[in-house]
Amino acid sequence: MHTVKEAALITGLTEHAIRFYTDKGLVPSLQRNQNNIRMFDEESINWLHGVKCLKQSGMPIEIIKTYVDLCLEGDSTIPQRCTLMMEHKEAALIKLEEAKQHVAHLEQKTALYQAILEHRSPDTTNPGNWDKIQHMHSDVFYSPSVRKA
């Protein structure tokens, strides 16, 4: 049997994360000693490794809880667990596309800043100066009636 501290060393999780995961019911085999202290056997350590793996994939705690519950029901839930993973993968792919758009936008912004630093472009990045340069980028500025709101 392992204490929280030992479980943290074994799994690479923080003690805080382990307590959080156990409080959320993600370690169903968790045991407590006579002083109500969390104790982890090998199965509990395996659950912690599994939770860590799912969390590293970006899976939210609520979905991990669903996954744990399905695992506890047995092999008959393999199709549901597979669906859960496919749905999580699709959500991750959507986030990846969003991240690619963010990077593309930031590449444009850093190129603009480089141009400003090299005095090839005026500073159009400071909203406090936009009233002076609105004529340069009228397509991206709000109309006067919207700006006053």
pLDDT of residue 68: 96
Q: What angle do CA 84, 18, 41 make, to 5 degrees?
A: 90
Beta strands in the chain (DSSP E): 31-32, 38-39
Write the pLDDT tens digit of every residue in 35-55.
989 999 999 999 999 999 999
Q: What does the buried/exposed string (b/e) look like for 95-131 if buried means 16 or more CB atoms within 10 Å of the residue's CB? A: eeeeeeeeeeeeeeeeeeeeeeeeeeeeebeeeeebe
Compute CA distances 56 → 13, 19, 46, 48, 59, whole Å. 11, 17, 15, 12, 7
Q: What is the mean pLDDT of residues 108-132?
A: 85
What's the whole-number average pLDDT of the chain? Answer: 89
With cut-offs at 50, 70 and 90, classify the pLDDT of residue 128. confident
Instruction: Provide the sign of the torsion angle of the four alpha carbons 10, 15, 19, 21, taken in this order.
Output: negative
CA 48 – CA 40 distance, rounded (Å): 10
Asked if pLDDT for residue 139 goes beyond 80, the answer is: no
At 12, the amino acid letter reads G
Compute CA distances 131 → 59, 113, 123, whole Å. 44, 19, 12
pLDDT of residue 141: 53
Q: What angle do CA 121, 125, 126 make, to 5 degrees?
A: 120
Write the pLDDT tens digit of every residue in 15-33.
999 999 999 999 999 899 8
For the entire predicted model, the pTM comes to: 0.71
What is the token pair recorded at 26? 């993600």
pLDDT of residue 137: 54
